[in-house]
Amino acid sequence: MGPARMISQRTDAAPDAFARLMALGRPLVMGILNVTPDSFSDGGHFFDPAVAIAHAEAMAAQGADILDIGAESTRPYGGAKPVTAEDEQARLAPVLPAAVGLGLPVSIDTLKARVAAWALDQGAAIVNDVWGLQRDPDMAPLVAARGCPVIVMHNRDAADAGIDIVADMVAFFTRTLAIADAAGIARDRIVLDPGIGFGKTPEQSIVCLARFGELKRFGLPILVGASRKRFIDSVAPAPPLERIGGSIASHLKAIENGAAIVRVHDVRDTVQALRVTAAIDRAKGP
């Protein structure tokens, strides 16, 4: 797929669907589907296409607003094996069309513009770039040409306990938004993600959750993905599959601090927590 083909087809319906979701005025739940053998919390669980499709159907039934599908582990603690674009597409091919057919906006979680373009051609609605348009030089032009929403995540090659992580995020997103502006990406198509766990110590991840509201200076919606992350283990030791309580606590706090979207593994429990929280808030009266 050459550059001209990669950016040629505009994704007209996707931004409208995303805009309608954002206009609901409530926090959105993004369900995670890893079709990988080596993701940090559920690697291999959904590598079989039939199992992956069944999980996507379950998350939709449980109340997910968006499905986020990735075929290359970007786990923040190292050790994940790089995957070629061809292998990524081969993993996605039996799953992505079925997920799109469920009627929810589908986000493609990939580092590669080539894979993102292919996924958009298959009906994906959103690009989720864990390097915030700063790794693949073709990603920003692709997003601009397609007109699709993009999630841009803060990332670092390695954690540095000596830095002010929030100041680092501000500098990172300033660069990302300059890249987006130069490419012609509309600001109302951009969502910021502080990248909990990525290039951060557990302590810095906690600081990010406490202070990510400082990113509101950019005037953009914020997505938080704290689900099953290692910082939970640093506070209340537990393996990834037993971090649901810490995940929900983190996401409720994130929403209290202004998050518009939470990216989660445990959709049913998160949706239940959000609905109960909303009911309690309504009962307070005007």
Instruction: Give me the active site residues, please.
Output: 229, 263
279 backbone dihedrals φ, ψ, rounded to 5°: -65, -40
State the CB neighbour count (10 A cutoff) for residue 75: 18
Whether 161 contacts 139, CB under 8 Å: no
User: What CA–CA distances, in Å, run from 94 to 23, 89, 97, 105, 278?
Assistant: 32, 9, 7, 17, 37
How far apart are the C-alpha atoms of 171 and 176, rounded to whole Å? 9
User: What CA–CA distances, in Å, run from 265 to 39, 136, 158, 240, 247?
Assistant: 12, 27, 25, 10, 9
